[in-house]
């Protein structure tokens, strides 16, 4: 019998409070989960929460040393190429997936969590603008290469971490690599909008497979994701005070990812957008199916799935 969250517990989850460790353990026991960017912040908290629920968690991280450190701390097996999983390198993504497919007979949940936030203009190993390359294209290739294993393991789930800042983005098909003009805020928002469009299009393509795809925003969380933001020295004490008072902790921010990965309440639910463990409405631009299909087609070519 599937364990279900109580109404009171779901209410606590929506407020960003950690849920009890055993609540979804029945659903996650024996499940294999991959979490990208799991060596710190939101990803590490997500992995730890799923471990508490009985899952076997694979930490997919760029920094192999930090991944192994996090694995030892959380008793999770680290898996990947010799250099870990670097989403800024399609070669690394392919190597990681090859190892997973060789070593893992099943994959129950994939959580696309890793991200780059408003970094200076740089390019990935393959020449893509860093935020679009890591936040969207790296995860696009990763998910597609692991899709057959997810289908074979169905019922299975894909969870995509986006951001409320998608609202300020557009998909600039004329300059996806921002070579004409680079605005770090716009490019982050574009990549987070791409996450939502990708999740919705993937959910459409997976109808009838018993593989669900949902996307979420974690809220404002105290992590090192904002390390590229320059805060004036005199303003830092005030910013730190505000962040401690109003920002979520990583554990609180991870609750919606954990909910979508483990709760019986969303079994069979797909193509939806969540915040604080409840479904939320999207702006029309995030539900534009023609843009989603166009982005998918272009992404397939960019990552080499189609020549």
Per CATH, domain 32-303 is 3.40.50.720: yes
The β-bridge partners of 214 are 159
Token readout for 263 is 């709760």
Q: What is the pLDDT of residue 40?
A: 84
- Residue range 271-307, pLDDT digits in tens: 999 999 999 999 999 999 999 999 999 999 999 999 6
Task: Tell me the backbone φ, ψ of residue 50, rounded to 5 degrees.
Answer: -70, -35
- Residue range 167-224, pLDDT digits in tens: 999 999 999 999 999 999 999 999 999 999 999 999 999 999 999 999 999 988 655 5
Q: What is the pLDDT of residue 220?
A: 85
Active-site residue, 273 included: no
- Checking DSSP bridges between strand 211-217 and strand 156-161, what pairing results, if any? parallel
**Spans of all domains in the chain:** 32-303
Peptide bond before residue 155 is cis, with ω within 30 degrees of 0 = yes
- Give the CB-side neighbour count of residue 142, counting CA atoms within 13 A: 33
- Residue range 19-34, pLDDT digits in tens: 444 444 567 999 999 9
Among candidate residues 166, 188, 259, 273, the one labeled active-site is 188
- Residue range 103-154, pLDDT digits in tens: 999 999 999 999 999 899 999 999 999 999 999 999 999 999 999 999 999 9
Q: What is the pTM of this model?
A: 0.85
């Amino acid at each position: 019998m599937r364990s279900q969250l109580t109404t009171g517990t779901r209410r606590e989850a929506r407020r960003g409070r950690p849920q009890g460790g055993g609540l979804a353990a029945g659903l996650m026991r024996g499940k294999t989960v991959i979490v990208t960017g799991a060596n710190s912040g939101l990803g590490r908290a997500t992995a730890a929460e799923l471990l508490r629920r009985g899952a076997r968690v694979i930490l997919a991280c760029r920094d192999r040393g930090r991944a192994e450190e996090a694995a030892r701390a959380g008793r999770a097996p680290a898996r990947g190429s010799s250099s870990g999983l670097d989403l800024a390198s399609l070669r690394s993504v392919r190597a990681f997936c090859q190892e997973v497919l060789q070593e893992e007979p099943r994959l129950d949940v994939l959580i696309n969590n890793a991200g780059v936030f408003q970094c200076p203009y740089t390019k990935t190993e393959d020449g893509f603008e860093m935020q679009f390359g890591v936040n969207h294209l790296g995860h696009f290739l990763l998910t597609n290469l692991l899709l057959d294993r997810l289908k074979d393991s169905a019922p299975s789930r894909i969870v995509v971490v986006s951001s409320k800042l998608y609202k300020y983005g557009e998909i600039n098909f004329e300059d996806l690599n921002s070579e004409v003009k680079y605005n770090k805020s716009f490019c982050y928002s574009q990549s987070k909008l791409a996450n939502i469009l990708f999740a919705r299009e993937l959910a459409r393509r997976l109808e009838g497979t018993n593989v669900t795809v949902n996307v979420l925003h974690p809220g404002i969380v105290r992590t090192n994701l904002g390390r590229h933001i320059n805060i004036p020295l005199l303003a830092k004490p005030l910013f730190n005070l505000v962040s401690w008072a109003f920002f979520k902790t990583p554990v609180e921010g991870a609750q919606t990812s954990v909910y979508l990965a483990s709760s019986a309440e969303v079994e069979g639910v797909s193509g939806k957008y969540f915040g604080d463990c409840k479904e939320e409405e999207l702006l029309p631009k995030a539900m534009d199916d023609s843009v989603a299909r166009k982005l998918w087609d272009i992404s397939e070519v960019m990552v080499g799935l189609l020549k």
